[in-house]
Structure 1
Amino acid sequence: MSWMIYGAYGYTGELVAEYAKERGEKPLLAGRNESKLKKVAERLDLPFQVVDLEDTVALRQALAEQQVVVHCAGPFEVTAEPMMDACIATRTHYLDITGELAVFELAHSKHEEAKLAGIILCPGVGFDVIPTDCIAAQLKEELPDAIQLTLGFDSASRMSRGTAKTSVRRLGEGGAVRRKGEIVTVPLAYKTRKIDFGNGEKLAMTIPWGDVATAYYTTGIGSIEVYIPASPKLVKRLRRLNYVRWLLRLGWVKNWLEKKVEQQPPGPSEKQLEEAVTYVWGEAKNVAGKVVSKQIKVMNGYKLTSRGAVDVALWVQEHEVEGGYYTPAKLCGADLVDRYKES
């Protein structure tokens, strides 16, 4: 079977390609920058093809030969739709490594198109959002009548440039939670609480993480919040930014922030990839006030993404599944996260 990794020369895309090679796979590496793409392909001795997402004809021709594409080229709010549409047209299964709320909602909106085409649309097959999605599914199984779901994670790992760019691009949009089944825009650092993610109690704040979308489709629970640790100083700074969020939505401001990000290292070091583990936590509550919770420790988020993307791509090639939109836990089961646990 033939499959493609698009955006294989970005920090995370290259990790995905490296792990595919380790698994003995030979995916087609693709992207629009020939020099960067060729460098990675030659180092890994993998085939490559230069194709631009904006060239609809060329993109569909490239995908016509592929059973699955793992889309790794962000920002996904810009790149996901043309790739999804091309996959629907060519009947190619679509996976990506996004954590962007809008992309999960976009994929869900295309459920019927994907179903008719007989293909899977499953964004978030990496750290965004495999661990939290699987914990959400497990909590729902333990407490079937849950009406509130709270998720979170704690990682000491550095962000990649791509993740950092996505974060600064979204600052102007504020935070997000789900209430009564609907995604609601809220201020940055909207709520705080103390949480023990698995390595001691810490102050934490809400973030507009992908599970605000995906956990709802996995569990049906209508009220969802996601938290990460945050110092009082950071919470205060973000809350002040709420007064100038309109400014952060301006194109030139976004561009300036992205240029600042470009000055950072491309992503976690080799040492961080191996040692900076992630603590993942979840809590479900029913109307009677019963609470169940879970804590797990998983590998570094970027390392997990490289493995999750490849594992799900191979899973899709090996299984017959009805077409449509899926979350990772709905597609592969809530035990998918077990592959990435650390002792």
Structure 2
Amino acid sequence: MSWMIYGAYGYTGELVAAYAKERGQKPLLAGRNEKKLKAIADKLELPYQVVNLEDPVALRQALAEQQVVVHCAGPFEVTAAPMMDACIATRTHYLDITGELAVFELAHSKHEEAQRAGIVLCPGVGFDVIPTDCVAAQLKAEMPDATELTLGFDSASRMSRGTAKTSVRRLGEGGAVRRNGKIETVPLAYKTRKIDFGNGEKFAMTIPWGDVSTAYHTTGIGSIEVYIPASPNLVKKLKRMNYFRWLLRFEWMKNWLEKKIEQQPAGPSEKQLEEAHTYVWGEAKNAEGKVITKQEKVMNGYKLTSHGAVDVALWLLEHTPEGGYYTPSKLCGAELIERYRVTG
């Protein structure tokens, strides 16, 4: 059973590779920077191969012997398409750790291609979006006639540099919700409300989280919003930013913001990985106004991502699902969240 972790030297990619090693696995580590790749491979005593996504021939040659690839190299809005196309060509199952709306929709658009190739396309096999996707599926099972779905999460963990870069690249596009089955672009901090995510009621705002895409494909519920806690001051700043967010769409501005982010720590500390747990919340409502809610406490998002990416990769190596696009809960079942639940 042969599988690859691409982008293994990024903050989260290294966590994925280390957890794979902990599980007794020997995935092929891959990426385009030989110096960084070799350092991680030597540290973990795992095989590696230098491969550039911009070289489709070399990429397909590298994937030809692999059953599964876990794609960890962002920004996924740039890197996902060439990797998906190469996976379809080589009949290699595709997994990634994205939370980017456009990537989920891209994967869904390639459903029929994946079916013909007999492979799985399942982006979001980490914190984005395993726990929220499983909560969505469980709420749908409890309320089959739900017409509205609201999800959210609360974490005290620091963002990794990769997550922060992805977030600033998205700022210029605004927020996103789903209405009547369609994804709608809305202003930043479009709506606010108070939510008890599981650790006390907090002021929260909408964000363009991946579940605006995935939860619809999981549940069929046509109206979806996702929230995180935010201070009233941050909400005011984001609302003001709506007037000039067009400026944030320029590539030079994105590059400038990314350079600022490079000055930050790579990601959460070891202490945060172990202690900064995440609270996940969901609410379903039907046409009669009945409401049900669900709360979960799970491990730190980056730790969950490292475990989830490996768990789903190993699941694929042991099972033969029909080809096509999947969300995590559609692929592995809504009980997948139980692996990452934290008690106490």
| TM-score for both structures, normalised by structure 2 | 1.00
SS at match of 2:98: coil
Residues 1:31 and 2:31 aligned together: yes
1:172-211 equivalence runs, <5 A: 172-211=172-211
Q: Could you tell me how far apart the structure 2 residues matched to 1:252 and 1:100 are?
A: 20
- Matched with 1:295 is 295
Pairwise CA distance, 1:101:
0.1
Matches within 5 A, 1:1-343: 1-343=1-343
Taking the aligned partners of 2:16 and 2:139, their CA distance within structure 1 comes to 29
List per-residue Cα deviations over 1:189-216 (Å, max 9, x = no partner). Answer: 0000000000000000000000000000
TM-superposed CA distance for 1:144, in Å, is 0.1
1:42 and 1:148 mapped to 2: Cα distance? Answer: 49
The amino acid of 2:47's aligned partner reads: P
Deviation of the 1:146 alpha carbon: 0.1
1:252 positional shift? 1.1
Deviation of 1:312 after TM superposition, in Å, equals: 0.1
Give the partner amino acid of 1:104. F
Query: Matched residues in 2 for 1:233 and 1:149: separation?
Result: 27
**Equivalents in 1 of 2:99, 2:111: separation in Å?**
18
Where 2:148 maps in the other structure, the secondary structure is strand
Q: How many angstroms apart in 1 are the aligned matches of 2:86 and 2:312? A: 20
Number of residue equivalences: 343
Q: Which digits, 9 at most, give the CA deviation of each residue in 1:229-288, with x for residues without a partner?
A: 000000000000000011011111111100110000000000000000000000000000
1:9 shift after superposition: 0.1
Partners of 2:313 and 2:52 lie apart in 1 by: 22
Structure 1 residue runs of 4+, over 3 Å off? none
Choose 248-257 or 100-109, whichever is displaced more. 248-257
The structural deviation recorded for 1:334 is: 0.2
Unmatched 5+ residue regions in structure 2?
Answer: none
The 2-side partners of 1:304 and 1:126 are apart by 6
Residues in 1 aligned to 2:297 and 2:213: alpha-carbon distance in whole angstroms: 23
Distance of 2:56 and 2:168 partners within structure 1: 29
CA distance in 2, matches of 1:236, 1:292: 30
Supply the AA of the counterpart residue of 1:312. Answer: V
Aligned partners of 1:306 and 1:266: how far apart in 2? 15
Describe the superposition over 1:101-152 as per-residue Cα deviations: whole angstroms up to 9, x where unpaired. 0000000000000000000000000000000000000000000000000000
Structure 1 residue 25: deviation in Å?
0.1
Distance (Å, rounded) in 2 between the aligned partners of 1:5 and 1:252: 30
The AA in structure 2 aligned to 1:261 is I
SS at match of 1:94: strand
Q: Which runs of 5+ in 1 are unaligned?
A: none
What is the alpha-carbon distance in structure 1 between the residues aligned to residue 264 and residue 215 of structure 2?
32
SS of the equivalent of 2:171 reads helix
How far residue 342 of structure 1 moved from its aligned partner, in angstroms, is 0.3
Root-mean-square deviation (CA, aligned residues, Å) is 0.3
Aligned-pair identity (%): 84
CA distance in 1, matches of 2:34, 2:48: 9
